[in-house]
Amino acid sequence: MAMVCLSDFEAYAKKYLPKLAWDYFAAGADDCKTRDENITAYKRIHFRPRMLRDVSVMDIRTKILGTEISFPVGIAPTGFHQLAWPDGEKSTARAAKAMNACYIASTYSTCTLEEISMAAPGGLRWFQLYIHRNRAVSQQLVQRAEALGFQALVLTADLPYTGKRRNDIRNGFRLPPHMKLKNLERDFEVCKMSLIDPSVTWNDIYWLQSLTHLPIIIKGILTKEDAELAVRHGVQGIIVSNHGGRQLDEGPATIDALAEVVEAVGGRVEVYLDGGIRKGSDVLKALALGAKCVFIGRPALWGLAYKGEEGLQDVLRILQDEFRLSMALAGCASVSEIGRHLVQFSRL
């Protein structure tokens, strides 16, 4: 079957992944309202395309934290890539490097940070961190990531406890015996996520800053109040995220929260977004509303499930081609021409 768009990869993954793995990746919290709204919210945003603009030469490159990437899409942190493909995060790292995209590696990787680094030397990688009750574990992870050349630290802020994902409970989800959370102690009980520290506050950003020279990005911000606090505490970037709808159900879709965060930040730090990106035109809408770059979660896993590194490259390539085409048809020849003037919200 020809893989033409991201939903083709989704259909493939649903058909061929074991039910336990598919349900884990697909899960949203409670009624999955926020998970689904992340996607449907894009349908309420319409373009205001401009005509007769010279789009014969297109430049879709951008920079994040000063590093150039081929187009404004990266790979969001997701756990347990070996559930999708035997080589797991090593394949993810290789695909990201091949496409000159940023890959945010998860604390809950099924490959070690060292294996991820060796798989794709010189690739642009950030490291996503959960702060654990045992702070020494988190400190060691941060220092390992920095020593291995990861270029930023992404602190996930929206998981003091794990959201209620019904199918995982029904399935009794746990990693198969041959898979391990390689970056943590061997006997870590994956279902409970019970080692995550629910007492983490804004002051812990200062603690992280004392451990590392890496820029710190905070992931999980959805309001202007928290965006302002993030800037005040010295972060270098914000990822507008609701954890793919896996945490608090009935919160806002990320694309709906984006403008509020961008306005609050006022250009002082870079703002990114994840959640619900399924087409190149979604990327264009997010950039028009102020995101510097977007990150894909589930679609990256679908690509891995299809053909590993090659499948993930296919997913990124399709998004890249669709983004370039959407830009051209909207009258933008470079990323710098994308702005709020390009979109309008449909009237209900």
The answer on whether 182 is annotated among ligand-binding residues is no
Say how far residue 266 (Cα) sits from the centre of its chain: 22
Q: How far apart are CA 36 and CA 10, in angstroms?
A: 14
Active site residue 243: yes
Q: How far apart are CA 150 and CA 179, in angstroms?
A: 24
The answer on whether 108 is annotated among ligand-binding residues is no
The answer on whether 112 is annotated among ligand-binding residues is no
Structure tokens at 87: 């080589």
The answer on whether 298 is annotated among ligand-binding residues is yes
The answer on whether 244 is annotated among ligand-binding residues is no
- Active-site pick, 132, 178, 243, 341: 243
The answer on whether 94 is annotated among ligand-binding residues is no
The answer on whether 272 is annotated among ligand-binding residues is no
Rg (CA), the chain: 19
The answer on whether 64 is annotated among ligand-binding residues is no
The answer on whether 161 is annotated among ligand-binding residues is no
Q: How far apart are CA 133 and CA 56, in angstroms?
A: 55
Q: How far apart are CA 299 and CA 302, in angstroms?
A: 5
Q: How far apart are CA 52 and CA 91, in angstroms?
A: 42
The answer on whether 276 is annotated among ligand-binding residues is yes
The answer to whether the beta carbons of residues 297 and 304 sit under 8 Å apart is: no
- In 3-state terms, what secondary structure has residue 216? strand
Q: Which of 205, 103, 88 is nearest to 149 (CA)?
A: 103
The answer on whether 48 is annotated among ligand-binding residues is no
The answer on whether 219 is annotated among ligand-binding residues is yes
The answer on whether 241 is annotated among ligand-binding residues is yes
The answer on whether 130 is annotated among ligand-binding residues is yes
B/e letters for 47-76, b = 16+ CB within 10 Å, e = fewer, are beeeeeeebeeeebebebbeeebebbbbbb
The answer on whether 274 is annotated among ligand-binding residues is yes
Q: Which of 32, 40, 70, 22 is nearest to 317 (CA)?
A: 70
Distant-in-sequence, close-in-space partners of 70: CB < 8 Å, separation ≥ 6: 60, 61, 99, 100, 101, 320
The answer on whether 311 is annotated among ligand-binding residues is no
Q: How far apart are CA 226 and CA 108, in angstroms?
A: 25
Q: Which residues are annotated as a binding site for glyoxylate?
A: 24, 165, 243, 246
Q: Catalytic residue positions? A: 243
Q: Which residues are annotated as a binding site?
A: 24, 77-79, 106, 128, 130, 156, 165, 219, 241, 243, 246, 274-278, 297-298
